[in-house]
Structure 1
Amino acid sequence: AAFVAGTGVDALAVAVGSSHKMTTRDAALDEVLIAAIHRAVDVPLVLHGSSGVSDDGLRAAIAAGMTKINVATQLNKAFTGAVRDALEADPALVDQRRYLGAGRDAMAAETARLLTVISG
């Protein structure tokens, strides 16, 4: 609370059990701490490393007061995995429009799925 008051930040990223660039979804968040921070400050809370949190963990974090959920690594994993699959399925493939499209479609699908998770 003192940090928020002293700095005037618009949002607060807090360390509650996840970290940037997690590629496994096994982070255990401290929901009690999230709720306590949420009660103590009047700015939105930001969760970095959300890609390392399970769907149920994300729902619990939001219920505890987390507002901004960052999932870039999860989307990057979906994109890259689809590109790899396309290239492995057709080793002669050289037209990036064909394999990047697969990545884009996978990212769009994962974005839609995650939106259902975080929007309740």
Structure 2
Amino acid sequence: MSGAVLRNKVNPNNSTHHLSLAEASEIMGVTGDDRMLHALAAEHGYMLRRVEGAASGSVISAVLAVSRRQGDLAQAVAISLEDGRITPNESSEIRRLCASIQADAADLAQRAELASAGGQ
């Protein structure tokens, strides 16, 4: 597609041209920039995490990683609430730790699936 057509499709003030999901996917693939995907997910109340390659390591180490992150989260919340309020920076840290727990839990699920298939 021409540059002019693409500009019209991504211009929020243009109501006559629209970017299709297939086109958005192609753009993200070519550019390596997934911000559109994250913005769409956030608009609908979701948070995304890239799934890396196959999980490696033991199920036990994955359980311990999840537990460690949960402890980090509990500590961050406790420290944040010491003064009776949560600042924007403290909220960002809590959000980051929650995302880390989700990532570690997904890794644990992958390792358990591999183990159930005889992989470990």
Structure 2 length-normalised TM: 0.29
